Amino acid sequence: MGSPNNKPARIFSLHHHTSLPCTRAHQIGALLLIATTFFLTRLFDQSFSTCPPSSLNHDHSSPNVVHVSDGGSLSWPQRGYGFHLSLKIYVYEEDEIDGLKELLRGRDGKISADACLKGQWGTQVKIHRLLLESRLRTRKKEEADLFFVPAYVKCVRMMGGLNDKEINHTYVKVLSQMPYFRRSGGRDHVFVFPSGAGAHLFRSWATYINRSIILTPELMVVECWAVSSVGRQD
């Protein structure tokens, strides 16, 4: 015979996947939310694109504009900060640290950046390319305010370039070779994890990069995927 005292434990358990069942209504609601967000984003994009060129003052010959292979472009905002922003960002080179190339191209080095440009994980490539061409980039570690660690691990994993165990081992190896990472405890290092799994693509992230800057498009994933992203980090 069950005790009534057992019920609260089941209700408030964070690890019990049946406490918040994912019904068909939840799935439909999630899809509607995604569709609404997409159409509103397109609407805003179109409204801004119809503004007079003089008001936007976009100069596509500027070094702050990065053209990507799909015909679009990315640019740093100039209004607000303008050219007076003194932030300096160091971008690690793929051959600079043993193991970093594997996080970008897989164990055999056969996965290209262009192959990873499209799809949900394309932001890893686009942010990397944007920073490589940015006027904020510095090649001197000693003057950098932030350090960007490029990796296309979501794409590499999906294309069979590395498995989960290899990704974890390679990240640990790479971080162990970064004296500036150790100096700050990782607080000034930036990582990108573009998927619902978030930083969990690096299984030991909570041990090694829990103080770092982590860019991920999804803060918390609904119960349908039975995994939460980096939203638990305070």
- The pLDDT score that the predictor gives to residue 46 is 60
CB-count exposure of residue 90 (10 Å: 0-12, 13-18, 19+): buried
- The pLDDT score that the predictor gives to residue 51 is 47
161-166: long-range contacts, CB 8 A cutoff, minimum separation 24: 161/102, 161/105, 161/106, 161/107, 161/108, 161/110, 161/111, 162/102, 162/103, 162/106, 162/107, 164/201, 164/203, 166/102, 166/107
- The pLDDT score that the predictor gives to residue 120 is 72
**Is pTM, for the whole model, over 0.85?**
no
- The pLDDT score that the predictor gives to residue 234 is 33
Sites in the chain below the pLDDT cut of 70: 1-22, 26, 29, 38-40, 42-85, 218-234
Domain boundaries along the sequence of the chain: 20-50, 60-232
